[in-house]
Amino acid sequence: MNQPNSIEKDASNQQAQLADSQADLQAQVIELQMNLSHLEVTVERLDEVITRQDRDIQTLQRQLQFIYKQVQSQDGEGGVAPFDVMADRPPHY
């Protein structure tokens, strides 16, 4: 009669181990889902930052082109004189 009792204990132990491993797996899946959710939020935020930076870069490029055109037009008119150290010496020398 000891043998059926022993078999029942083994079956009970196996069921307990199975329940523990299932609980561990479920906890790991929940943790992975939470990590994935955080990563998705991070990717969305980074995408917004990259989009804004791209717009800023395009705006800066247009402004730089405008400045280059202004400088080129002034060079033709002689508006910007080159700096000469000897000719532009302060009067106290």
pLDDT bin (cut points 50, 70, 90) of residue 90 is low
With vertex at residue 45, the alpha carbon angle to CA 43 and CA 50, rounded to the nearest 5 degrees, is 90
Region 68-84: mean pLDDT is 71
What are residue 79's phi and psi, to 5 degrees? -75, -30
pTM for the structure as a whole: 0.54
Distances (CA, A) of 30 to 19, 20, 21, 22, 25: 16, 15, 14, 12, 9
Per-residue model confidence (pLDDT) at position 85: 61
pLDDT tens digit string along 29-71? 999 999 999 999 999 999 999 999 999 999 999 999 999 998 8
DSSP-based three-state secondary structure for 91? coil
